Amino acid sequence: MLTTDEAGMLSASDSEQLAFAREDERVVVTFDHDYLALHASEVPHAGIVFAKMHARSIKQMVEFLKLLHEVSAADEMVGRIEFA
């Protein structure tokens, strides 16, 4: 796991975030609706997990992400969006 802050990407645009994650083969986990629009406009990405703010507890999100990691190979997530 890598946070935006840890990656030094706090001031990067959403498109730059997706490009960085794609290059590093990382799935972006977000509450930001702008990523849905980027996905719809076919901006390339290594995968997006979108969740509505406060829809799940932190524990539920961690469990969801662990399960997703167990059942999905990295290449299966490319260009895919999952709703948590």
Q: How are strands ordered across the β-sheet holding 28-30? A: 28-30, 48-50, 81-83
Tens digits of residue pLDDT in 31-66: 999 999 999 999 999 999 999 999 999 999 999 999
DSSP for 9-64?
Answer: -TTS-HHHHHHHHHHTT--EEE--THHHHHHHTT---S-EEE--TTSS-HHHHHHH
The predicted pLDDT at position 39 comes to 97
| pTM, two decimal places | 0.91
Tens digits of residue pLDDT in 28-40: 999 999 999 999 9
Quote the percentage of the chain above a pLDDT of 70: 100
Mean pLDDT of the chain: 95
